[in-house]
Amino acid sequence: MKQTLLTLTLIVSLTIKADEGMWLPQLLNAMNIKDMKKNGLKLTAEQIYSVNKSSLKDAIVQFAGGCTAEIVSNQGLILTNHHCGYSAIAYHSTVEKDYLTKGFWAMNKNEEVYTPNLNATIIQRIEDVTAKVLKGITATSTEAKKDSIIKSNIKILEKEAVTGTHYESFIKPFFYGNEYYLFVVETFKDVRMVGAPPSAIGKFGGETDNWMWPRHNADFSVFRIYANKDNKPAEYSADNVPYKPKNVIPISIKGYNQGDFTMVYGFPGRTQEYLSSYAVDMVMNESDPLKVALREKRLNIMNADMLQSDAVRIAYASKYASVANYYKKWKGEMNGLKNYDAVTKKQLFEQQFNEAMSSDPAKKEKYGNLFPQLQKVYAEYRILNKQVDYYSECLMAIDAFNYARFYTTLTNELRKKQKGANNTFETTLAEYKKMGFFKNFNKPTDIKICEAMLNEYIKGVPSSNRPFVLDSFILANNNDAKKMTDFLYSNTNFVDKEKAEAMLNDFEKYTNLYERDPVYYITSAIVKYYSTSVFPQFQYDEREINELQKLYIQGQKEMFKDKKFYPDANSTLRVAYGKVNNYKPKDGVEYKHYTTLDGIMEKYVPNDEEFDVPEKLRDLYAKKDYGPYADKNGKLPVAFTASNHTTGGNSGSPVFNAKGELIGTNFDRNWEGTMSDIMYNPNQCRNIVLDVRYTLFVIDKFAGAGYLLNEMKLVK
């Protein structure tokens, strides 16, 4: 007994490991600054986040909705990742001016190009509004009543916060609704592309190297924020001028050593660090493996066809990249969780939680039922979750079904319109017309995917969990996916560009025709089944889980008073701190914490899709023409690993040294460490950072755009 208690205590004291956490910048003073200083930080909390004085936060940008960027000049110049600027670069590319392949460099401000719909957001202030949001809720309020009170409070507070200003605001829940914070932000709408390396440099290593260490790509691109003459956000205009920021990040080219303090400041998207053992078991043993297996089948089919034809390769390039990105992430995550014995660790923690409340009747009363309830919800939720996985990763992985799904939405809206209801039929129709479903479509590839996915569906989903129409179709064809696929594809209009677009162009006329289309028929049965028999219960359970998690967090805070808690990532501004750090991925292997240009030449495969190296870079390597960017051994540094806790959305985030100088741009995590979205393993979880010296080298020596460096504050 003593023994187990001892090990349990050990586990709990280890639950916030060094370097874990994505902290709230406005709470650093109260929570982290001592620890940060102990680890080497030379700044004050005020220099990192302040409302009244200029601080680092004024140079951190949420870029294009899902990424981060940093301001590096007093003329609004920003650095982000190549993969964050990718769609902007692609938007400006044509066959003649192929910026994806050749790179792009504005040689003066007149050559910088405006990109529609590209936004840059800067946080003005963050405020704890928990009490105000929950005002009016009483112990006897029903769940529905609580919801409506919270909603209306939020609406009023958001409006109040920005009345009479040009700012925007939003309120988000933290810790499952135990806390609420208000964000006042300034969003710039005129953002122009300044520079991007060729993909052979920015995306060197492609999917093979994605999520992997050692890494060798310069994943950066350069943009500039423009404002009106009053330095305020404005729609694009030729009269706009470069934005004058409140703060500019200095750039250090002095390098770093293993063990040096690092800090990442950015907008991490989503993590779930406080899940129960039931949830982690579901993710690691069921959901991740299923999604990985389904995506693997789909990717293999796409890949085979892409290798056969250039047209297919180009059509499927970005679809493939995005399917592959999370396929690989989930695979790393489930392996990492397994190797770390994550479920057992969660169970031990739950035992510890139970023991901590056992001597206190009040706590027992409040939390005693928590785990049994979670267990009960998850028993049901995991079945629904599997259904949802089959929906999005199997049935809707078939493009024909996915396209037809859009038409089911249109049909519903049309019916409403015909009944005279005020609805959005016309706008939805216009939106779908713009989407160009067939740009990235190849019928023979989709036929193969359809057959493979139907096969998986038949094997994996019991008859009782299938929409009746689909089940009958399967039975009528004796479970023969090939027969089903042949029938569907020879009788549908959804797989031929001309026919499908003709339907869209004259939608009301085709009503009967597409209703007799087998793909439409099956798809609408699927959509109907899911929206009546799966999604409502799924959402109901999610809500219940959220309530239980809310209670679980309260309990943890009450019972483990010494532990510091950070809220899960929710696309809001966070600080993660750690150190430059290498790791040992497996027995007998130890990685270095940095890579150099030498490694690019080692990986070089002439004319390869992923590992070709541009001639100019090979020349610079041959001459060792690295300028001031070489390290002390005369090598050109490329990337490094650190122990900062990051996730999707941290792409493009600045990585600072102890003095608040930029040493790199965050762009990925290591494969062994992608589990950190659910559990942070200090031995394995690393973020991957582009060394700013390689960024500057590419701008200056490779692209000949060194004039940009004149704007920057270089610390030599």
Q: Judged by CB under 6 A, does residue 672 bind ligand ARG?
A: no
Q: Judged by CB under 6 A, does residue 649 bind ligand GLU?
A: yes
Q: Judged by CB under 6 A, does residue 217 bind ligand GLU?
A: no
Whether residue 457 contacts residue 313, with contact meaning beta carbons closer than 8 Å, is answered with no
- Of 199, 650, 665, 670, which lies in the binding site for ligand GLU, with binding defined by CB under 6 A? 650
Size of the site for ligand GLU (CB under 6 A): 9
If contact means CB under 5 to 8 A according to the sort of partner, which of ligand ARG, ligand GLU, none does residue 649 touch? ligand GLU
If contact means CB under 5 to 8 A according to the sort of partner, which of ligand GLU, ligand ARG, none does residue 695 touch? none
Q: Which is nearer to ligand GLU, 268 or 660 (CB)?
A: 268
Is position 506 annotated as part of the catalytic site? Answer: no
- Of 668, 672, 677, 691, which lies in the binding site for ligand ARG, with binding defined by CB under 6 A? 668
- CB-based burial, 8-24: b 16+ in 10 Å, e otherwise: beeebeebbeebbbbbb
CB 12 to ligand GLU: min, Å = 27
Catalytic pick among 651, 668, 676, 691: 651
Q: How many C-beta atoms surround the C-beta of residue 557 within 10 A?
A: 13
Q: Within positions 459 to 478, which residues make up the interface with ligand ARG, using CB under 6 A?
A: none
Q: How many contiguous H segments (helices) and E segments (strands) does the chain have? A: 28, 20
Task: Give the DSSP letter string of 219-270.
Answer: --EEEEEEE-TTS---S--TT-EE---S----EE-S---TT-EEEEEE----
Distance (Å, whole) CA 547 – CA 173: 12
Amino acid type, 586: K
Distance (Å, whole) CA 39 – CA 491: 66
Residue indicated by tokens 């050559």:
111
- Of 211, 261, 401, 520, which lies in the binding site for ligand ARG, with binding defined by CB under 6 A? 211
Is position 83 annotated as part of the catalytic site? Answer: yes
Q: Judged by CB under 6 A, does residue 267 bind ligand ARG?
A: no
Is position 219 annotated as part of the catalytic site? Answer: yes
Terminal Cα-to-Cα distance of the chain (whole angstroms) = 59
326-365 footprint of ligand ARG as x/- string (CB under 6 A): ----------------------------------------
Q: Which is nearer to ligand GLU, 385 or 676 (CB)?
A: 676
Distance (Å, whole) CA 193 – CA 186: 20
Say whether 368 sits in a helix, a strand or coil: coil
If contact means CB under 5 to 8 A according to the sort of partner, which of ligand GLU, ligand ARG, none does residue 250 touch? none
- Of 8, 134, 321, 601, which lies in the binding site for ligand ARG, with binding defined by CB under 6 A? 321
CB 211 to ligand GLU: min, Å = 8
CB 203 to ligand ARG: min, Å = 6
Q: Which is nearer to ligand GLU, 524 or 646 (CB)?
A: 646
Amino acid type, 463: S
- Outline where DSSP puts E strands in 40-86: 60-63, 67-71, 77-80
Say whether 73 sits in a helix, a strand or coil: strand
Q: Judged by CB under 6 A, does residue 695 bind ligand GLU?
A: no
Residue indicated by tokens 């010494």:
562
Distance (Å, whole) CA 157 – CA 127: 11
Closest C-alpha to 653, from 210, 19, 59: 59
Q: Judged by CB under 6 A, does residue 595 bind ligand GLU?
A: no
Closest C-alpha to 500, from 519, 487, 482, 485: 519
If contact means CB under 5 to 8 A according to the sort of partner, which of ligand ARG, ligand GLU, none does residue 646 touch? ligand GLU
CA distances from 130 to 179, 479, 544, 569 (A): 5, 55, 21, 18
Catalytic pick among 82, 83, 216, 645: 83
Q: Judged by CB under 6 A, does residue 273 bind ligand ARG?
A: no
Query: Which residues on adjacent β-strands are paired with residue 714?
Result: 251
CB 204 to ligand ARG: min, Å = 10
- Of 567, 648, 664, 682, which lies in the binding site for ligand GLU, with binding defined by CB under 6 A? 648
Q: Judged by CB under 6 A, does residue 325 bind ligand ARG?
A: yes
Q: Judged by CB under 6 A, does residue 665 bind ligand GLU?
A: no
Pairing assessment for the beta strands 714-715 and 251-252 based on DSSP bridges: parallel
Size of the site for ligand ARG (CB under 6 A): 11
Binding residues for ligand GLU (CB under 6 A): 646-651, 667-669
Binding residues for ligand ARG (CB under 6 A): 83, 203, 206-207, 210-211, 321, 325, 648, 651, 668
Q: Which residues are catalytic?
A: 83, 219, 651
